[in-house]
Amino acid sequence: MSSIELTTSQRKILRALVNLHGETESAVKGEAIAEEVGRNPGTIRNQMQSLKALKLVEGVPGPKGGYKPTAAAFDTLDIQQMDEPASVPLTHEGERVEGVNVEEIRLSSVHHPDLCRAELQLRGSVKRFHEGDRISAGPTPLSKLVVDGTVDGKDTTTNVLVLKIEGMEAPAETPKH
């Protein structure tokens, strides 16, 4: 399948639509997208026309209407639409965060434990997280890894949280008899 080249703005709007749609599973109003990406609703409506032309978005008429991402939107953003997402729980200041899953944990600077960072790829908005917030991600489905740390940065375009790692643990394998 050919990849569709999107502008940064289109990609940001499409990702916001995908995230908001993922939280509600219903059509998303242009105003909600505008608020999420910090643009005015008119700009969003214009962008939606081009995204509809690219078959990435469908309009839903009526009072409950708005926009929905198409399957092609997920392909374009390279998001695997999993039937049962292997959701890795996320806690924020000790509270379990609903509506946000960790899709991937990327570890960097493993050779320098004092500089160790983790990038958490989230499905769901990173807007609610702020520098210095305490975050815990895990346990992951296979290795049961849990990463604890504080937010050191975030990228709202790609929904990545950067954590300064303060602790990592994976339970020791229990020997199978």
pLDDT for position 75: 78
pLDDT for position 82: 46
Tokens of 129: 């997280």
Q: Distance (Å, rounded) from C-alpha 28 to C-alpha 66?
A: 5
**CATH entry, 8-76, from 3.30.1390.20, 1.10.10.10, 3.40.50.2300, 3.40.50.300:** 1.10.10.10
pTM: 0.49
Q: Distance (Å, rounded) from C-alpha 34 to C-alpha 62?
A: 19
Confidence of residue 84 (pLDDT cuts 50, 70, 90): very low
Q: What phi, psi does 111 have (nearest 5°)?
A: -75, -15
pLDDT for position 77: 75
pLDDT at 2 > cutoff 50: no
Greater pLDDT, 98 or 27: 27
Confidence of residue 83 (pLDDT cuts 50, 70, 90): very low
Confidence of residue 111 (pLDDT cuts 50, 70, 90): low
Greater pLDDT, 127 or 1: 127
Domain borders along the chain are 8-76, 90-169
Average pLDDT of the segment spanning 81-102: 74
Q: Distance (Å, rounded) from C-alpha 141 to C-alpha 4?
A: 32
Q: Hey, is 156 helix, strand or coil?
A: coil
DSSP 90-151: EEETTEEPTT-EEEEEEEE-TT-GGG-EEEEEEES--TT--TT-EEEE---TTT--EEEEEE
